[in-house]
Structure 1
Amino acid sequence: MATYCIGDIHGCCDEFLKMLDLIKFDDKSDELLLTGDLIGRGPYPVETMREIMSLGKCVKTVLGNHDINFLALHYGIVKARPKDNLEVLLNSPLRETIVNYFLKTPLLYIHKQKPLVMAHAGIYPLWSIKTAKKEAKAVEKVFANPLQRIVLLRNMYNEAPLTYSAANDGILRWRFAINTFTRMRLCYFDGSMDYKNNAVSPEEVAKDGLAPWFSLSAPLLFKKKQYKLVFGHWAALNGNCHEPHIRALDTGCVWGNRLCAWRYEDDTFFYVKSAGYADI
């Protein structure tokens, strides 16, 4: 049995299916972990979700920012933007099924047998795995409550707070967790987040005192157990993360680059070239 992790699909269904063929994925014996952003910007969101859901329990995924945006769109909190290509999901007979799928999708996945952890954007560098699990569960509990989820989705589009405080509760706590797990890229050395430089490489902002979250994470995340942590979200990295216990898997398929998969057992990477969607 092999465990494969695949980076952000973004509705690139053709490349996703080619990747399953390339890795010879067996849904009877293998596991498939997806880093989130299953939809958004890409050409085939309905087909992508249909294929993923058809694979059943062998697939585990986490919520990405585009997936959560679709929930806000479904509930009428935001308006559809043509560039996101999500209106087709609103008009699909699978709409409710897809909404329910995302409502049951966690922000953080921790493998039960293997020291393997997955989050869409990563884990806040001043958190331990234990704290990350607690904060993810708090948001997942809110999404399970029909009234609370609407309140959260309405108040989600804000960057504050930029640093974590255990004293925060309610919206501030939930929003920080969502921003961390689905939007984080760069941090200052005191742990405050930066959301202004979200499309640049780490080298471009080092002079401003910013660093990738993962370069600050090792002391707490890997103190007690040598987890492997996989994340997506940051296409500008093109998979370049040199931390020994962290794998970056978003290689910009929807932007015309390629789709990436990683096999846990032997640390092997696989790539499928994008059909080319850079103008979407």
Structure 2
Amino acid sequence: MTRPTRVLFIGSTGSIGHLAVCEAVERGYHARALVRDAGRACFDPRVEVVQGDLTSVESLRGALAGIDSVVFTMGAHDGPSMIEKVDYGAVRNTLIALEGRRVRIALMTAIGVTCMDSRYNLASQAHDWKRRSERLVRASGNEYTIVRPGWFDYNDPDQQRLVFLQGDTHRYADPRDGVVSRRQIAQVLVASLGCESANRKTLELVSRHGPAQDSLNPLFAALEADPSGSLDGAHDEENFPLSIQPKRVIEDLRTVTSFASADDRSE
């Protein structure tokens, strides 16, 4: 693995995205923030701000120029159509814009994303579209880490010890599933970029009572890698078959997989 140096942040103006940009700058990365309106962006002067549209493949081509890693923290809350357009669409459009060029990816989704029959998911389809975005990343042939955080900032002040879980067994759809601070979510996303043992791993991120660890590398190393050739994470429930996916999603998977195969043949 080659440690990336130039990171594009998609979702950079959100509550976690902004923290992730700051974390990257402090770790010495060249951080590029994709924003809808550059005139309203407020970042450290060391951050490169680019105006663009995550719903446009052409716009993302420009934003990705010279980039060797991407952090996704975007999220919509305006119903199934907008969630598809943002949570899934940003990943789809980025991978299509890359056309097989390899980058390191850190994708934030959500704890409980494999819980398909919750009242929340049935109404919003949010977990469906986030899970489909995970599958695109796994199919793309890129190095990646997928982080499924617990409920944001519900942790107590002394609840800073991070725990990485797998299997996504949380089914309450409330803070009983696990909690973690926004700041620590940002830290984990950015830390994964330069960590070889974080590659091809999917994790649920929660915090427990106790102090924060000095290093996250042992936590990444203890995780099981996602099964080779699988579209799902290690130990995920098999409850989302391809046979029930929309035709446009199947086509996107074929496109992304074809890019990965073509790139492998050229190496």
Given the two structures, how large is their TM-score scaled by the length of structure 2? 0.30
Which is bigger in relative contact order (C-alpha 8 A, separation at least 6)? Answer: 1
Given the two structures, how large is their TM-score scaled by the length of structure 1? 0.29
